[in-house]
A and B are shown apart, each in its own frame.
Chain A
Amino acid sequence: MLIETKDLTLEYLNGKSGVIAVNKVNMKLPETGFYGILGPSGSGKTSLLYLLSGIRVPSGGEIIYGGQKLPNSADERSRLRKREMGFVFQYHFLINYLSSFQNIMVGAVDSEGEEKTKRLISELGLDGLEQRPPYKLSGGQRQRVAIGRAFANNPKIVFVDEPTASLDHKTGRKVVNLLRNYSKEACVVTVTHDKSILEEADGVFKMWDGELERIS
């Protein structure tokens, strides 16, 4: 198993009352494959991804990544994320003064960044758009640049938050196909409330009020 959680819990403290966004989640994911987490808005999907990627610290339970507990120190978790993980945020956050090419390279680990980026550009169908800044790209193109950035460091695991939410059906389809392709080499965890994109997933989880359950 690449990643495994034990009673993983995240509670947000809003003043006096707390919100349990992730509630005792137990899940296992192998080295490769396309996995989906389905659930309505507010069910805790994004929070779960933040925990798995080490962006947030759990309030309970633990995460075993590559056989070891995810490090406690924020710096070490950052380093791990930079080297071995990818994240496609829901709002794709490209750096708007950089070109597509440079935005993808931001995700790379220095040494082989340029070669890898060139390959990603053509795999993602972004040829000819290398020098364009994000504000001159369509939503789908931006989404692909964000995906490129997530894969630029040859990650072991990639987290994708609502990849199709802001795309039309056809573009969404294309994006999902790309992710599925990359899942042959890495573990891709996609969060969505759109069931249709998980038809060919290797595994699907359902999330509800912070609780997670495997449904296929």
Chain B
Amino acid sequence: MFSPLSILTYFFKNKRKVIPILAIITLSILGISVTAAINGSMWREITDRVWFYEKYYDVYLTFSSESEGSLEEYQEEVEQVDKEIKELDAVDHIIVADVQATDLMTLFGNEGARVIFVGEDDREKFVNEIGIELDEGRYPESADEIALGREMLMNKDLKVGDSIGSKIDDEESLSGEYKIVGALTYSDSKKSMKLGIGYRENKSDDLSSAGLFLLNPKDGKAEELASALSRLEDKYGVIRVNTKESVDKMIDEEFSAVSKVLWAINVVVTLTITSSIALLNVIFFMQRANEFGLLASLGYSRKFIVGRTLLESLISIILGWGLGIIFSEVVYGILNSWIFTPRGIQGLTVLESQTFLFTIPVPLAVAIFSCGTVFWKLMRMDPVSIIEKRD
């Protein structure tokens, strides 16, 4: 048997008081983490997508090579940029590619994913550099074949052997028709693979005939290359450049706004939950005034009474928080297997530093609020006035 004043005894004998508090905290952890978890899923999606820029920077023409008129007009300028790019000192190698986009379904509408068409000679270098592996099938060996990321296939509900393209499906933005001959993954299997690889027949390596130059910086020269490219971008109106820095900056801008909104929500929810739990705690505390007065009159020290009561609060709060984490993870697990994983979208989880961090203000604020009020009340308590009252 536990000692009568042990915390376990209190919990077992006061389930009706302890359980509601646990339940409120548990649910609030779910409620508060869901926005952060969605944000986390989005963030992982995007970082997976821009993983590419760790290895290659994009350079492409601002107009399409098919619109002949413009090409002629800017012929000279394009040739000049082409030359300057190829002379850049910080470049390790350039992969000349064509690019197309295909729509993927995300949590917030459709988003384009890239299919990069590379020549057979470049492919191995490209694939090794980024860490792409074949999960199934093979790489394309002719212009009408294509290999797509595993998560891309899941998202589109396609499999190796199927065909894809605007000829088959009006809504498909990938023009033409391709047979899917392979499924790709990243060697880091946690990343979701939303890149496609096609076969580029054209042997020309002129910027004017390529959709895209992929520039791999020399080791340690990434920044140098980025600034060189942005200088070129400023100098010549005909090219656009995407570097790791520019992409990161864009993501940061987008996410810092989202993250501010999320924290604002967090603060409001935390305050609401905290004040209601703290109020509950104070009510329960008042109901126990007799108990505390009695214990003090029987000779229990104030230190003992305060310590025991604070520990009770803290344990129930930490327990509620722990349950909340477990409960959220279970709920997210269900949602993931139901909605996210089948669509190849990065799933929800609370066990990710940002989201996890997000759940901490609730228990923290509840602890400070509850313990603060309880401590304050206990220190001011006059035991004699309590035992002089009737119970």
Residues of A participating in the B interface, judged by any CB pair closer than 8 Å: 46, 50, 55-56, 75, 78-83, 85, 87, 89, 91-93, 95, 97-98, 102-103, 105-107, 110, 113-114, 149
Q: In the complex, what residues of B have CB within 8 A of residue A93's CB?
A: 290, 293-294, 387, 391
Question: What 1/0 mask marks residues of chain B from 366 to 391 whose CB sits below 8 Å from any chain A CB?
Answer: 00000000000000000110011111
12 contacts between A and B (CB under 8 A): A50-B384, A78-B299, A79-B299, A82-B299, A95-B4, A95-B291, A98-B4, A98-B9, A102-B4, A105-B4, A106-B4, A106-B295
Within the complex, what minimum Cβ distance (angstroms) separates A152 from chain B? 10
A55 contacts B383, CB within 8 Å?
yes
Q: In the complex, what residues of B have CB within 8 A of residue A50's CB?
A: 384
Does B257 make an interface contact (CB < 8 A)? no
A82 contacts B297, CB within 8 Å?
no
CA distance A112 to B13 in the complex (A): 23
CA distance A79 to B14 in the complex (A): 28
* Interface size counted on chain B using CB atoms at 8 A: 27
CA distance A150 to B387 in the complex (A): 15
A75 contacts B13, CB within 8 Å?
no
Does B327 make an interface contact (CB < 8 A)? no
User: Total contacts A to B, CB within 8 angstroms?
Assistant: 61
B299 contacts A81, CB within 8 Å?
yes
Closest to B303 in A: A75
- Cβ-closest 9 pairs across A and B: A82-B299, A102-B4, A81-B299, A97-B13, A78-B299, A93-B294, A91-B390, A105-B4, A95-B291
Consensus secondary structure, chain B interface: helix
Does B212 make an interface contact (CB < 8 A)? no
Question: What 1/0 mask marks residues of chain B from 1 to 17 whose CB sits below 8 Å from any chain A CB?
Answer: 10111000110011000
Residues of B participating in the A interface, judged by any CB pair closer than 8 Å: 1, 3-5, 9-10, 13-14, 290-291, 293-302, 383-384, 387-391
Q: In the complex, what residues of B have CB within 8 A of residue A82's CB?
A: 298-300
A87 contacts B9, CB within 8 Å?
no
CA distance A107 to B10 in the complex (A): 17
Q: In the complex, what residues of B have CB within 8 A of residue A149's CB?
A: 298
CA distance A82 to B14 in the complex (A): 26
CA distance A89 to B100 in the complex (A): 87
Interface residue from B3, B293, B297, B391 paired with A87 (Cβ < 8 Å): B297
Q: In the complex, what residues of B have CB within 8 A of residue A79's CB?
A: 299, 301
Q: In the complex, what residues of A have CB within 8 A of residue B299's CB?
A: 78-83, 85
Closest to B386 in A: A93
A97 contacts B295, CB within 8 Å?
no
Q: In the complex, what residues of A have CB within 8 A of residue B293's CB?
A: 93
